[in-house]
Amino acid sequence: MGENLLDRVAGSPPLGGRITVARLLGSESLPLADLYERAGRVARWLRGRGIGPGDRIGILAANCLEWVVLDLAALRLKVETAGFEPGKFEPTAELTERYGITLLFTDRADAPGTVPMEEVRAVSEGGRPDTADGSAPLPPVTWGPRDVTTIKFTSGSTGEPKGLGATAGSINSSLAAVQEIFAHKPDDDLFVFLPLSLLQQRYWVYSALLHGHDVTISTYEAAFAALRRVRPTVVMGVPALYETAKRQIEARLARAKDGTGPAEAARAVFGDRIRYLWTGSAPANPDTLRFFTEEAGLPLYEGYGLNETCIVAKNHPGASREGSVGRVLPGKQVLIGDDGLVRVRSEYPVNTHYAYARPGDSERVFEPDGTVRTGDLGRIDEDGFLYILGRADDVIVLDNGKKVVVRPIEERMKADPAIAECVLFCPAQTELVAVVSPGSVPADRDAIAARLARTNAELSADERISRVVVADPPFSIDNGLLTSQYKPKRRQILAAHHTAVHDSTEGIHAP
């Protein structure tokens, strides 16, 4: 493979750049060189506590500077990390035993047997010289392509999260491919807000250390307040963020009396330095993509990837096609069978099996060479752009034998700002029923009914939605109906609205 980028992250001090942690009420910022020094102190401290190659530490905390420092310290010791998302996992002895955790770090004050993040901060700042193993140099480490750097967990949309060991080779390959197409430079500032327990969010920290640009870490709750303060050049987001931003921009336009246009209103939300916007992890609304790219002047590029594959395809400057998720990246090969199912083969696979899963899960997803059966339906056009048409298990078979792919129908419904999410079900295999999460509270039922009528007018008889159940309260992470990447959890949504979905008298009926 090419240059070992993770070895550079672990072993070479950065040449420039800053890291900022942006909260609702303020920000904390320091040079990446200082971040590197703090990670070194924590690495020596961990080594003094007997942590070394082959060990695994766990981190269960909200996004914070100490999260980043611990992750980098582990890289410098060739120690695995396991990132646990708060709310999905609890800091217990059972957790540490199940996942082979030597030390578990958490921001929970009431968690016995764990190491508090405050202690990590004290060590990183040099306030605990008695435990930091002095200034002894750290031994050099080499991450081989098949070495596992971290255990990452699936979003859990279909049950208990599966644990997957991510290899250094897959991370190196993704970092190199993304830098090749986006060319992040020292004057860039990459803004990320999803949990750092999701490995991809840490990629942008590694990128900053490699290329000397800035990186800002925030949270979803603080994202919009932080954007205006930080003024990033790149936002690493998910469709839900851009749907919310679009509503904010449209509200500003409705209030404006001075001829303000979409571009000016968008800069008021995102700042005035945006070079491009990144979206992935869930299908983006085509109208939202067009709004940002064409009306607001902020290019919004959609991509495709899974936990099991890393990033596979990405639209980018000079190679972007509406409706696609982009061209396949170097090091990846997309194979589409006669049944339309997408399989992904990687030069450097994430892995060839799950580290933690139910019996049979690995065999259903991974082929022996690491090729991943994605479960998605897709096609590739004559210019090499990949289109994802939906999930194979989201194909509904009606009692007349007609097969209906639900994703395009759901996307049509979501084109209206009154609908944030739409999930289709088929009770008794005779009619399509939509459960929608409203875009505002209280729900605009008239707008939802109008969208239902417009959508049905564009569909064949078998594809039409008979009625819509409006979720109250809307889908959220807190009520268990959205994953941490803001994807709808179909099984849980059906369970929560089972009675209404199966009762033909419930909901907004199609005219």
Note the pLDDT of residue 299. Answer: 97
Note the pLDDT of residue 378. Answer: 92
Note the pLDDT of residue 398. Answer: 82
Note the pLDDT of residue 159. Answer: 57
Note the pLDDT of residue 330. Answer: 92
- Going 27 to 31 to 34 to 40, the CA torsion angle's sign is positive
Note the pLDDT of residue 17. Answer: 97
Cβ distance 150 to 60 under 8 Å? no
Note the pLDDT of residue 285. Answer: 85
Predicted structure pTM score: 0.84
In 3D space, the residue among 152, 140, 145, 142 whose CA is nearest the CA of residue 168 turns out to be: 145
Convert the pLDDT of each residue in 336-349 to its tens digit: 998 889 999 999 99
Note the pLDDT of residue 490. Answer: 87
Helix axes 262-270, 239-255, angle to 10 degrees: 120
Note the pLDDT of residue 125. Answer: 93
- Residue numbers of the chain with a pLDDT score lower than 50: 132, 157
* b (16+ CB within 10 A) / e for 371-405: bbbbbbbbebeeeebbbbbbebebebebeeeeebb
In whole angstroms, give the CA distance from residue 456 to residue 431: 13
In whole angstroms, give the CA distance from residue 458 to residue 388: 21
In whole angstroms, give the CA distance from residue 284 to residue 219: 20
Note the pLDDT of residue 1. Answer: 54
User: For the chain, first and last CA: distance in Å?
Assistant: 60
In whole angstroms, give the CA distance from residue 215 to residue 19: 5
Note the pLDDT of residue 380. Answer: 95
Contacts of 464 (CB under 8 A, 6+ apart): 432, 456, 510
Note the pLDDT of residue 429. Answer: 77
For the chain, give the longest Cα–Cα distance. 75
